[in-house]
């Protein structure tokens, strides 16, 4: 009975996240237009933060309220893999033309994103060296100050985006925006996402106990895909409107936010958190490989063809199969799963 209830809770939470994130994305877009923000800021900062709020919520709530950070880290890293492989692939296939990129996306955004991956892995490594957990030699108790270093790096990212667009002159909006109403919709959408995240946490706890599915695996697959629905919605819509740069900017901006804010926010607000280094490093290694695959495809003619999109989706299917084989002990590449 509890398993059935957990399945229903997960499905309902997915629907609520979808609706809440759709409201959040629409309100963010209206407010960005009203305040005259440049398109790159709208895509890589405003829309990215809005669509990544589910990952931020689950990372914080799992660490602060439930005392288990595996689900939060799994959801963030799994969402990053989903964003890199699935969203560009789906966006390219559903757009009328090939998904176009730009040199700013391929070089500037990509470089800072790879810096984000390296910085998070460095923080985990410093934790294992200087703050090892007593429970396992491959676990670390990450202190809040290391989390603040990552958040500070995100501040640098926002500053770079601002500096590149400081001379941007916004066109006057064609339609008036009810600012108070949009801010109200924004706050309501955040509340809906927070409630939905509790459904994901409950489902992960029940399935972990009933079927022996580690919370990290549940976060890497099911929760990651569910919380990435907002990013998918934003990027596909932009791609169908011919705004490939905005579509890809949202994907990369979301991943930068997830790695530099969502994970460390949970660490800071919980007063420190235990990280399973044996799980984190293989997963982030796969994330690096997936990122190389995406940018290799994008660098060819600065666009993503349908064939390359299908290859990205197949690559993600390999990732899911790998997680299933790890769960049922067919493979043991990731210690701790």
Provide CB contacts within 8 A for 242, sequence distance 6+.
95, 96, 97
User: In terms of residue numbers, what domain contains 112?
Assistant: 2-167+181-327
Residue 86 belongs to some domain of the structure? yes
Residue 211 belongs to some domain of the structure? yes
How confident is the model over 92-136, as pLDDT tens digits? 888 877 777 777 677 777 788 889 999 999 999 999 999 998 877
* Cα angle: 212, vertex 216, 220; to 5 degrees: 115
Q: How many domains does the chain have?
A: 1
Residue 73 belongs to some domain of the structure? yes
337 within 8 A of 217, measured Cβ to Cβ:
yes
Which CATH number covers residue 249?
A: 1.20.1420.30
Looking at per-residue pLDDT, the higher value among 320 and 237 belongs to 320
pTM value is 0.86
Q: What is the pLDDT confidence band of residue 301, given thresholds at 50, 70 and 90?
A: confident
d(CA 23, CA 37): 19
pLDDT recorded at residue 171:
67
37 within 8 A of 177, measured Cβ to Cβ:
no
The mean per-residue pLDDT over the stretch 80-101 comes to 86
Residue 334 belongs to some domain of the structure? no
pLDDT recorded at residue 310:
94
d(CA 225, CA 82): 7
Average pLDDT, the chain: 83
Q: What is the pLDDT confidence band of residue 40, given thresholds at 50, 70 and 90?
A: low
pLDDT recorded at residue 44:
61
Least confident range of 18-22, 145-149, 162-166, 227-231: 162-166
CA 236 to mean position of chain CA atoms: 16
pLDDT recorded at residue 198:
79
Angle, to 10 degrees, between the axis of helix 244-257 and the axis of helix 229-240? 160
pLDDT recorded at residue 122:
93
pLDDT recorded at residue 149:
95
The helix (H) or strand (E) run that includes residue 253 is helix 244-257
Provide CB contacts within 8 A for 223, sequence distance 6+.
58, 71, 74, 75, 78, 200, 204
The mean per-residue pLDDT over the stretch 299-316 comes to 88
Tell me: pLDDT of 300 over 90.
no
250 within 8 A of 48, measured Cβ to Cβ:
yes
How confident is the model over 184-231, as pLDDT tens digits? 988 888 888 888 877 887 887 787 777 777 878 888 888 888 888 767
Residue 47 belongs to some domain of the structure? yes
266 within 8 A of 76, measured Cβ to Cβ:
no
Burial (CB < 10 A; 0-12, 13-18, 19+), residue 232, is buried
pLDDT recorded at residue 82:
94
Task: Take residue 237 and report the two structure tokens written for it.
Answer: 């819509």
Look at the alpha carbons of 242, 246, 250, 251 in this order and tell me if their dihedral is positive or negative: positive
pLDDT recorded at residue 165:
67
d(CA 135, CA 144): 19
Residue 309 belongs to some domain of the structure? yes
Q: Which of 332, 305, 276, 226 has its CA nearest to residue 10?
A: 226
What is the DSSP pairing of strand 139-142 with strand 99-100? Answer: unpaired
Residue 121 belongs to some domain of the structure? yes
Residue 158 belongs to some domain of the structure? yes
How confident is the model over 234-250, as pLDDT tens digits? 778 778 877 777 778 77
Residue 218's φ and ψ, nearest 5 degrees, are -60, -40
d(CA 39, CA 168): 10
pLDDT recorded at residue 35:
75
Tell me: pLDDT of 160 over 90.
no
């Amino acid at each position: 009975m509890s398993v059935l209830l957990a399945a229903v809770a997960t499905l309902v939470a997915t629907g609520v996240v979808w609706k809440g994130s759709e409201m959040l994305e629409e309100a963010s877009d209206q407010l960005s237009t009203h305040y005259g923000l440049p398109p790159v800021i709208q895509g890589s900062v405003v829309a990215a933060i809005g669509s990544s709020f589910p990952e931020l919520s689950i990372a914080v709530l799992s660490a602060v309220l439930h005392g288990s950070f595996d689900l939060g880290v799994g959801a963030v890293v799994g969402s990053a893999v989903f964003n890199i492989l699935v969203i560009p692939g789906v966006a390219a296939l559903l757009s009328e033309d090939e998904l176009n990129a730009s040199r700013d996306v391929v070089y500037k955004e990509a470089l800072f994103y790879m810096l984000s991956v390296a910085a998070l892995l460095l923080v985990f490594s410093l934790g294992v060296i200087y703050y090892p957990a007593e429970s396992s030699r491959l676990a670390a108790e990450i202190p809040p100050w290391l989390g603040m270093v990552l958040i500070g790096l995100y501040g640098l990212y926002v500053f770079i985006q601002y500096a590149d667009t400081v001379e941007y002159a916004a066109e006057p909006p064609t339609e008036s925006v009810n600012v108070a109403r949009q801010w109200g919709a924004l706050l309501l959408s955040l509340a809906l996402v927070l409630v939905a995240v509790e459904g994901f946490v409950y489902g992960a706890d029940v399935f972990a106990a009933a079927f022996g599915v580690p919370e990290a695996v549940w976060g890497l697959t099911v929760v990651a895909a569910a919380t990435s629905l907002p990013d998918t919605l934003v990027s596909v819509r932009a791609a169908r409107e011919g705004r490939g740069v905005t579509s890809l900017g949202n994907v990369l901006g979301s991943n930068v936010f997830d790695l530099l804010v969502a994970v460390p926010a949970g660490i800071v607000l919980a007063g420190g958190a235990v990280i399973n280094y044996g799980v984190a490093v293989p997963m982030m290694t796969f994330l690096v490989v997936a990122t190389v695959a995406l940018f290799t495809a994008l660098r060819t003619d600065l666009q993503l063809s349908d064939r390359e999109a299908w290859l990205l989706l197949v690559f993600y299917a390999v990732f899911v199969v790998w997680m299933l084989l790890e769960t049922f002990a067919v493979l043991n590449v990731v210690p701790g799963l």
